[in-house]
Chain A
Amino acid sequence: MKHEPYREWLVLDMVGELGADERALLREHLQSCPECAREQRELAGLHRLTAQREVVDVSEDFLSEARTSARDALRRERNARRFRDRVASVVDQLMPIVLKPAIVSVSMLVVGVGIGHMLFAPGASETISASGTEWIDAAERGEAFITSVRFVDPDPQDGVIEFTFDALTPVRVKGSVSDQRIQRVLAQALLHEHNPGVRIRAVSAFAQSPMREADPIIKQALFEVLRTDENAGVRKAALMVLRALPFDREIRDALISILLRDTNDGIRIEAISYLGEIEKNQMSLSNENRRALEKKMSEEKNDYIRNQTLTLIREVREQ
């Protein structure tokens, strides 16, 4: 008896991908083909076995760990991209595409000779613009970085060359810590600066700002830091900023999450102490919150936190 295409249909049927017409034909065939009927039983047995391979649950903790290590890798990638862009930009302007690798050094020499000739050869025209001079001097003083040199006239034969460049310079900003634009720059620094000292200074600046209502982006940045920043000092500073914000449901959930997951006792103590203000802020605990806290009590090794958690649950129940 011919078993094709029934064997393939049996597999598709097992995963719920067989069309109605084919399924009807398959049923009919199975009644008269013991071999395919056995195959069907074996596939059902396989299905039962593979169902026992536990489906992986990507827990909050697991996701959070993965995000933390990925964030570090992204920081490195961003820095590498900035560097590559600078180099690529200069190389693109200096060399024809085909000969790039071969003539890079020669071209650099030509540029050097050209510039030297321009500056020192007798009769060379001295036509560097005022703004050009200003930036070249600034680069020499280390106050700017010259990049993306593009030749307008690369031929040094006549003693003169012409090019343009981009000058990158650190931007100094002075403004109120309450200014939302400044706060957003700080939020970027908080999430992406590699140096924990910079991250702490960024978050401390938030602490100085009287925030009646936080920008949602800043608030999310603070939550993200509390979940993933590997530096306890940064997390603690972020928690202090949260304390200055109006207590709401998001903050309550973030605090409970810190209490459940943060490994630093001091930060958990801060979190439970702030949670103690739930009543004062006319908030309550959801059933889910309460279950999580009850579980926490059974696992918490710090007596103070355990007692405070118990008090919190008891007080909220009395409400």
Chain B
Amino acid sequence: MAENHMQFQGKEDPDINLIQRARNGDALAFEQLVFKHDRRILSIIASYVNRADDAKDIYQEVLIRVYRGLPKFRAESEFTTWLYRIAANTCLTHRARAGRRSHMTQPLDDEDESGEAHSASSEKPRNPEEELLSTEIRERVDAALATLSPRQRMVFTLKQHEGFKLTEIATMMECTEGTVKRYLFEATQRMKKQLKDLIEEKDESRDK
């Protein structure tokens, strides 16, 4: 799935017509081009920041950067690869610039006005106690993620939540696969340390 988006071996970009029209100032073509891929972009951003308002801010900034950069896009990689790269960079700089508040205080999975949760959970807690425990765990996981450096966190969420391959992540983050592995290793070790008590608790309860 993600792999197909990232592969580009000299084949003509399927978006080439839209890209050319958008470059010539066709605003409708620009929207068609971006809106073909923006669900995944928003998902990447949302997994990373986990705040609805920040996700929308970053998404907006990504679109502006794409608009500004499109005349210089030289089609050396597939359009989606370039788009994902901009999304990743924007997340990283947003976080670096923002750093102003915790990203975890208003998770996306809060209920919206209609009472519908933004996120889909496959396992619903069965009773209030389980629900409380589950919420506590999620908050702890998010808090642990917040202690990672932006790049560690980006690698961790792209791998764990978005399912990209390490090689794809390397392309998006413009670094080597070895560097991505290092970020993933450091992120994992840090997460493990932060959540040690919960890991042990779970382990004990499984042993019983």
Contact = CB atoms under 8 A, between A and B. Distances in A.
Contacts of A55: 47, 119-120, 161
Given A17-B165, A67-B35, A77-B67, A54 B120 contact: yes
Chain B facing A: main interface SS = helix
Given A56-B47, A188-B28, A191-B27, 11 more contacts: A7-B185, A46-B195, A49-B199, A50-B141, A53-B141, A59-B116, A70-B56, A74-B27, A74-B63, A77-B67, A191-B28
Contact of A63 (B39, B141, B165): B39
B42 A15 contact: no
A188 B22 CA distance: 13
10 contacts: A11-B184, A48-B202, A49-B137, A49-B195, A52-B137, A53-B141, A55-B120, A56-B50, A56-B109, A59-B116
A227 B192 CA distance: 44
Interface in B25-83: 27-28, 30-32, 35, 38-39, 42-43, 46-47, 50, 52, 55-56, 59-60, 63-64, 67-68
Contact of B59 (A17, A52, A70, A224): A70
Given A52-B134, A55-B120, A56-B47, A15 B160 contact: yes
B94 interface: no
A303 interface: no
B160 A50 contact: yes
B27 A11 contact: no
A14 B188 CA distance: 10
Interface of B: 27-28, 30-32, 35, 38-39, 42-43, 46-47, 50, 52, 55-56, 59-60, 63-64, 67-68, 108-109, 112, 114, 116, 118-121, 134, 137-138, 140-142, 145, 159-161, 165-166, 181, 184-185, 188, 191-192, 195-196, 198-200, 202-203
A62 B118 contact: yes
Nearest to B30: A74
B138 A54 contact: yes
B43 A58 contact: yes
Given A11-B184, A15-B184, A57-B120, A188 B165 contact: no
B119 A54 contact: yes
B86 to A, nearest CB: 13
Most buried by B among A43, A59, A61, A191: A59
B185 A58 contact: no
A73 B28 contact: no
Contacts of A66: 38, 42, 55-56, 59-60
A57 B195 contact: no
A70 B30 CA distance: 13
Contacts of A74: 27, 30, 63-64, 67
Interface of A: 7-8, 11-12, 14-15, 17, 41-43, 45-46, 48-50, 52-59, 61-63, 65-67, 69-71, 73-74, 77-78, 187-188, 191-192, 217, 220-221, 224, 299
Contact of B42 (A46, A48, A58, A77): A58
A45 to B, nearest CB: 4
Nearest to A54: B119
Contacts of B166: 15, 17
A160 to B, nearest CB: 37
Contacts of B56: 65-66, 69-70
Contacts of B199: 42, 45-46, 49
Contacts of B137: 49, 52
B73 to A, nearest CB: 16
Contacts of A73: 60, 63-64
A62 B52 contact: yes
Contacts of A78: 27, 67
Given A55-B120, A191-B28, A49 B198 contact: yes
A74 B188 CA distance: 38
Contacts of B35: 67
Contacts of B119: 54-57
B155 to A, nearest CB: 10
Contacts of B181: 8, 12
Contacts of B202: 45, 48-49
Contacts of A191: 27-28, 31
A220 B31 CA distance: 11
Contact of A46 (B47, B67, B138, B188): B188
B46 A58 contact: yes
B126 to A, nearest CB: 14
